[in-house]
A and B are shown apart, each in its own frame.
Chain A
Amino acid sequence: MRRAALAALLSHWRARPLQLAMLVVGLALATALWSGVQAINAEARASYAEAAATLGQDRLARLVPADAAHIDEADFVALRRAGWRVAPVLEGRMRLGGERVTVMGIDPLTAPPQAGLAALTEGDGLAGFTTPPGRGFAAPETAAELAAADLEIAPARGIAPGIVIVDIGIAQTLLDAPGRLSHLQVHPDQPAARADLAAVAPHLEQRPPDDAGELARLTDSFHLNLTAFGFLSFAVGLFIVHSAVGLAFEQRRPVFRTLRALGLPGRSLMVLLVAELAALALLAGALGVALGYGVAAVLMPGVAATLGGLYGAEVAGSVVLRPEWWLSGLAIALGGTLAAAARDLWRTARLPVLAAARPRAWALISERRLALQLGAAVVLALVAVVLARVGGGLIAGFTMLGALLLAAALALPVLLYAVLRAAQALARGPVAQWFWADTRQQLPGLSLALMALLLALAANIGVGTMVSSFRLTFTGWLDQRLAAELYVTARSDAEAEAIRDWLAPRTEAVLPIWYVEGELAGRPGRVYSVADHGTYRDHWPLIDAGDAPWERVAAGEGVLVNEQLARAAGLWSGDGRLDLPGGPELPVVGVYSDYGNPQPQAMLGLDSFTRHYPDAPQRQHGVRAPPGAVPDLAAGLRDRFDLPAPNVTDQAEAKRISLAVFERTFTVTRALNVLTLGVAGVALLASLVTLSGMRLAQLAPVWAAGLGRARLARLELWRALALAGFTALAALPVGLVLAWVLLAVINVEAFGWRLPMHVFPADWVRLGALALVTGALAAAAPALRLARIAPAQLVKVFAHER
C-alpha cells in the first residue's frame, strides 16, 4: 500500500521536473554556502589546534613570566638545580628565506616526551639538530616554501604550518636573543622533593596546558562573522525551500485527500511525506556539500591570507574533505528542509479527509496574514531596539542583527502591498490598473523570494557600506599614521646601532619603533616606545586625550593605549591606569585608533621604555627625510649594510602592504555577499517559474479580452522589474541600519574599534541596477515562455469540452 501511495506522491515531481529542480538547486545552494563556510572554519581551527599541539603545548603546563616579556636562562638553571623538571622554549617571529615564520627553539635533551620530539631528533638527527649551523624542522609545505633559507629545513609531520622548530641555541642566534627564553615546559612527573616555585623563581607563574590555543580565542570573532554570513546565505536558501515545499503540498492536496479516502492512514501519509523530504534533502545536501567544498577551496587562500595578516595565524591555504563537515552539511540540509516544511507537514497532519484543494489560494492575498506578519515584524524590531540599548557582546550583536533583518523581511510584503495598492489607485488606463492589481495578487507567491532578495540586497548594502567606510577611514588613518618616509629593520641590535649612526647625519630624524610583548589587561599585546618628536604630535590622531598627552608620555608620566585596549578594559584618559608588563602602573593619557590590529597595544615614552625594558630588541626605525632623498637613502642602506629588500620599506610600500592586508580581510565577506545575491536570484527565478504554471488561468481572460501574448510577456517582465526595484528601495534603509550595527556594535565587539559611517550613493545605484538585472533575468524565461506559448494552451483554460 505504501509503495503505491509513494508512487502517487512522487508522480507529482515527474510531472513538474522544473519545480523539483528549483527545490533541489535552492537547497543545494543554501547548503553549499553554509558548509563552505563551515569547511573554512574547520580547516582554520584544525590549523590552530595543530599549532596549539606543537611541542605538546596542549598537554604540558608552562612556567611564564608573571609580568615581564621574557625569562632569563638563569631562571631555567636555578629551577633545574632546585629539582624542577622543566624544558626551555624560545619563540619569536622572523623572516627566513623571504617568508615570515614563527621560530620555536627547544632543548631536545630536557624536552618532555609529550613534546613529541623523538621522531625529529632520533638517530644521527640529534647532532645535526643541535650543532651549528643546525637543522630546522617544519611542516612539509612550510619546508618547501623555505627551500631558499640559509638554514637547512627538513620536512616533518605533526608541526603546524608556518612554524620552524630548531635547537634553543640556534633559535637564540636567529632571533638575536642570547640568554633569553619565552617559557618553560613543565614535565607532568615532577619529583616530590622539589623546591617551591615562589622560592626559586618568584617572578614566574605556572599556567595549565593550553588546549584551545591562543589563536583559536583571538580569531573567534572572525569565525563568528563568517558563520553569521554563512547562516544568512543558508536562511536565504531556506526561503526557496519553504516556498517550493509549500506549493508542492498545496498542489498535492487532492492526492492526499484521495489517498486518505482510499484507506491510507494519516500516519502513513506523514511517514511517506517525511521520507520524501528527507530523500530530497539528502540528495540536495550531498550536492550542496560538494559545491561547498568548491566554494571553500576557492575562498580558503584569501581566508588564510587574512588570518595571517590580521592575527599572524598560519592556516593551510587548501581544504581537506573531512567526514565531519560532510555529515554536518547533510544534517543542516535535512534539518533546514524539515524546518522549512514543518508548517506544511503540520497542516497536512491535521487535514480533514474532505478538505478541498486550493492551489490558487496559495497565491491569494490575505490581509489578515499581512497584519499578523506586520505585528511579528514590529515585535522583532522592538527586540532589536531593546538589544541595541541593553545588550552586550557579540552574540547579542548578531541576535540584534538577526531580529532586525527578519523584521525587515516580514515587513516587506506589507510595504509592497501598500505601494502596489497606491499605484493601482493612481493608475489611469485599464491595462495599468490591471497590471498593478495583478502584481498585488502575485505578491503572496513571490513574497518569500522577494524577502530573500531584500536580505541579500540589505546585506550587500550593509557590508559594502561597512567595508567602504572602513577603507575610507583606514586610508586616511594610514596617511597620518605612516608619517615616516622610510622604515628600516636591522637584523641585530648592533647592526641597528650602526644604521642609526649612518642615518643620523643624512636624515631629519630617526624614530625608534621598539616594542616588547607582554600581557596588557590580561591579553597578549605589545608595548611600543615613542620618541618625543613632532612627527607623532602632528600626525597621530587621538580619539580621546587628556591635557598635553604627548608631553606627559615623553616625561614618563603616562601611556597612550590603542582603541581596542581602551574599549576592552575601559581604559580612557582621566581615570584609566595601565599595569605595564614588568613595569610600573601608569595613567592613560590618551587613546589612538589602531585599525587592523586585533591585539591590545600601549605606547610608552622612549626614555621610560628603555629604562623599563633595557633588553627589548632595538632594531626597527622610522626615518624622516625629504621624500626626494628616500630612493637614494634606501639604496644606500641596502648597499652599506647588505640588508635584504623587505628590511627597507618606503612609505608607499608600507601603505601598499597595509592596504593589501585590509582588502584581503573582507574578500570572503564580499564573496559571500555576491553568492547570497545569487541565491536570492535563484529564489526569485524559482518562484516566477513556479507561478508561471499557475498564471495561465489569470492571464487567459486578459489575453482573450485582447491583450496579445507578446504584450503580456512584456508586462510580466515589467512586473518583475517593478517588484525588484521596490525591494531594492526597501533594502536601502535596512542595509544602512545593518551597516550602522556592523560598524557601531559588531566591529566594536569583534575587533575593538569603532568607525565613522560614510555613505556611498554610487554603490546603491550599482546595486539597484544589479537588483533589476536579477529581476529581469529571473523573469526572462517565464516571460519568454508566455510570449511563445501556443494559443491552444491558453484556450484550454476556457475549454471544458471539444
Chain B
Amino acid sequence: MLLEIDRVEKSYATGDGMLPVLRGVSLGLEAGRSLALTGESGSGKSTLLHLAAGLDAPDAGAIRVHGRDIAGLGDTARAALRRDTIGLVFQQFNLIPSLDAGANLAFQARLAGRHDAALVRDLAGRLGLADFLRRYPEQLSGGQQQRVAIGRALAARPALVLADEPTGNLDEATGDAVLDLMLALVAEQGAGLLLVTHSPRLAARCDARAVLRAGRVA
C-alpha cells in the first residue's frame, strides 16, 4: 500500500475549546491509482491532505507511506519524506516568488537530487510553459502558475502526489485541461494521486472516491 490512513484524529484549539476536525478517518491508496476526496467545506479534506504530506501530525491514529508510519517522525525526517516521496500541489499554487518559472519547475527535483533536465523540458512543453520559463510567478496568469505548480510536483518523480483543489482557481475549461494533464502524467510515472476537490465532476474522473462528512468517511 502506498498510502495508508488508519483511524486518524485531529482537533484544533479555538477560543471556545478544541474543535475536532477528523474523527477516526481511515483510507488507503495503491500506487498507480487515484483517489478523489470530496466533502463539504469544513469537513476536514485539506487537513487530511496536510497530515498525509507530513505537514502536520495527527493527534491519534497512523499514517503510513510505503508502510512506514510518518506520524512519529521528527521535523527533519518529515521534510526528507516530502522532498523524496511526495509531490504537493496547492490551490493557491504557492510558487516561490523569488525564482522564475523554470527554477520553480525544477526546484523540488533538484532538492531531491533527481533533477532530470530532459524531463523538465518535456514537462514544460506538455504543460505549455516553454515560452514562460524566464518569467516570475507574479508575471504569470493563474492557469500558468498552476501548471508550474503541477510541473514542480511531478518533475521530482514522486511516488505520491497530493493535490488540494488544484483547479479551484481556474475556469472550467482550463481546470479540465490541467486535470487531464495531471492524471496523464501521474499515470505515466506510476504514482498515486490523492485529489481533494469540491467538484463531483472532477472526482468522477478518479479511480476511487471517498466522501468526508463531519470528520468521518461517509
The answer to whether the Cβ of B203 comes within 8 Å of any Cβ in the partner chain is: no
Known: A433-B103, A706-B82, A792-B56. A802 touches B98 (CB 8 A): no
- A798 near B111 with CB under 8 A, answer no
Tell which of A707, A795, A802 touches B111, judged by Cβ atoms closer than 8 Å: A707
Interface contact A364-B92, CB-CB below 8 Å = no
Query: Counting CB contacts under 8 A, is B94 at the interface?
Result: yes
Contact yes or no, A705 B107, CB < 8 A: yes
Once A705-B107, A706-B111 are accepted as A-B contacts, the answer to whether A798 and B55 lie under 8 Å apart by CB is yes
Closest to B138 in A: A364
**Which residues does chain A contribute within 8 Å of B75, judged by CB atoms?**
708-710, 791
CA distance A434 to B104 in the complex (A): 9
Indicate if the CB atoms of A433 and B99 lie closer than 8 Å: yes
Assign chain A's interface to a size class: 20 to 34
Instruction: Choose one: B80, B138, B165; the contact of A706 (CB below 8 Å).
Output: B80
The reply to whether B44 and A698 form a contact with Cβ atoms under 8 Å apart is no
B57 x A791 contact (CB < 8 A): yes
Is A640's CB within 8 Å of the partner chain B?
Answer: no
A800 touches B96 (CB 8 A): no
Assuming the contacts A705-B83, A800-B91, asked whether A438 and B96 have C-beta atoms less than 8 A apart, the reply is: yes
A801 touches B45 (CB 8 A): yes
Whole-angstrom CA separation of A364 from B97 in the bound complex: 9
A710 pairs with B76, CB closer than 8 A: yes
B73-107 interface with A by 8 A CB criterion: 75-76, 79-84, 88, 90-92, 94-99, 103, 106-107
**A399→B84 CA distance, assembly (Å):** 59
Q: Chain A residues near B110 (CB, 8 Å)? A: 429-430
Complex Cα gap A706–B112 (Å)? 8
Residues of A699-736 contacting chain B, CB below 8 A = 700-711
Q: Is A77 an interface residue (CB 8 A)?
A: no
Residues of A within 8 A of B55 (CB): 704, 791, 794-795, 798
> B164's closest neighbor in chain A, by CB?
A798
A422–B164 alpha-carbon span in the complex (Å) = 36
- The segment out of B26-34, B46-54, B127-135, B186-194 that lies at the interface is B46-54
The residue on B at minimum CB distance from A791 is B56
Asked if B41 is an interface residue, CB under 8 A from chain A, the answer is: yes
Chain A residues positioned under 8 Å from B81 (CB to CB): 706
Shortest CB distance B71–A (Å): 13
Cα A802 to Cα B106 in complex, Å, equals 30
Q: Confirm or deny: B72 has a beta carbon within 8 angstroms of a beta carbon on chain A.
A: no
A372 CA to B47 CA, complexed, in Å: 47
Complex Cα spacing A708 to B50, Å: 16
A441 to B97, CA, bound (A): 8
A799 at the interface (CB under 8 A from B): yes
Chain A 555-599 interface 0/1 with B at a Cβ cutoff of 8 Å (1 = within):
000000000000000000000000000000000000000000000
A437 and B50 form a contact (CB under 8 A): no
- B144 on the A face (CB < 8 A): no
- Given A434-B107, A704-B55, A791-B56, A798 contacting B90 (CB threshold 8 A): yes
Residues of chain A having any CB pair with chain B under 8 Å: 364, 429-431, 433-434, 437-438, 440-441, 697-698, 700-711, 791-792, 794-795, 797-802
> Knowing that A697-B94, A701-B94 are A-B contacts, what are 6 other residue pairs whose CB atoms are under 8 Å apart, sorted by A's residue number?
A430-B111, A430-B115, A434-B98, A701-B96, A799-B46, A802-B12
